[in-house]
Amino acid sequence: MRKLIILLLVSVVIYACDTTSKTTQLKQVSSRGWYTTLEPFAEFNPNHKSVEIWTPAEGQKVPIIVYAHGGAGYRDDDRARVAMFRRNGFATISFDAYEMNGLDWEFVTRKVTNTGKQNLIWGVFRGAVAYAVKNDNWDNQNIFLYGASNGGRTVLYAGSELVNKNIRGIISEAPAATGYSLGDFNIPTIIPFGKMDNWAGKSETDYVWTRTYPSSPISIEHWVKSLQEKERPIKFIFYENAGHLLFEGPLEKVTVRRGDTIAFTAYQGADDKALKQYEHDVITFVNSNLVE
């Protein structure tokens, strides 16, 4: 009876969403009410209401940034990252993968595993990259992949899954500690983290990049070191006075609840100095990897 009630609730959630795809399915994977997502997943649709394709109003064709949002869908902090590239003169493509899959962002954030979230993002993101490759409204000889948190994990996964010589760099801000497996690639990559990023951790110093799980037994730190030993162009950049997701707002310690219980406390956001340095580092990274 309990399983029947859960299935009915999930069906109501899917049906109630403003959806463009009613094919994405949810599967319960734990007794605590967590779900993963099952294909088929929505594909990139440049005409979807959540898609923003931006190019400078005038001038020559410019490099293009394809952006993958975090675990809460396309929110204000994601918009702030995209705006950073726009004001520096780059074209951008961004979207909300949850809306494209017909799922409510609050339900996905609270009830879907990282892998389940990344499934939704990846299905759309790879299509957005393909769209960037074939469209000549911008300099598609210079394509950069950018993502944060679950989107950050997704763009690292893309490094080994998307074979395209015009992908010039990857920026992965605070990639999730669990989810898609991370492979080997030779694309210049930076991984910015706030030095205080203990999001979803068990203590003040349980940092995201050091963490392992049964489903993800290799930490991001260990993976990066393994690529550096092969002389791959990948590195961390750490920021003082910053926690998880630097663009979330001023640095603060927050309490995250799941239902009536406290799930964890953690640091998020960053001070102004960290944000200015972040923008300088990211834009410098992109400019240094452009080709004529």
For the chain, the structural domain boundaries read 2-193+208-220+272-288
Q: What are phi and psi of 3, to 5 degrees?
A: -60, -35
CA distance 95 to 50: 5
Between 14 and 92, whose confidence is greater?
A: 92
Span 174-225, pLDDT tens digits: 999 999 999 999 999 999 999 999 999 999 999 999 999 999 999 999 999 9
Residue type for position 32: R
Span 48-88, pLDDT tens digits: 999 999 999 877 899 999 999 999 999 999 999 999 999 99
31 pLDDT tier (thresholds 50, 70, 90) = confident
Span 264-279, pLDDT tens digits: 999 999 999 999 999 9
At the topology level, CATH places domain 2-193+208-220+272-288 in Rossmann fold (3.40.50)
The answer for 84, left when phi > 0, alpha when psi is -120 to 50, beta otherwise, is: alpha
Radius of gyration for the chain, computed over Cα atoms and rounded to the nearest angstrom:
19
Q: pLDDT at residue 16 above 80?
A: no
CA distance 197 to 240: 10
24 pLDDT tier (thresholds 50, 70, 90) = confident
Q: Tell whether omega for the bond before 175 is within 30 degrees of 0, i.e. cis.
A: no
First to last CA, the chain: 64
The answer for 236, left when phi > 0, alpha when psi is -120 to 50, beta otherwise, is: beta
Q: What are the structure tokens assigned to 130, written together? A: 């393909």
Q: Which of 68, 41, 38, 192 is nearest to 129 (CA)?
A: 68
Q: pLDDT at residue 21 above 70?
A: no
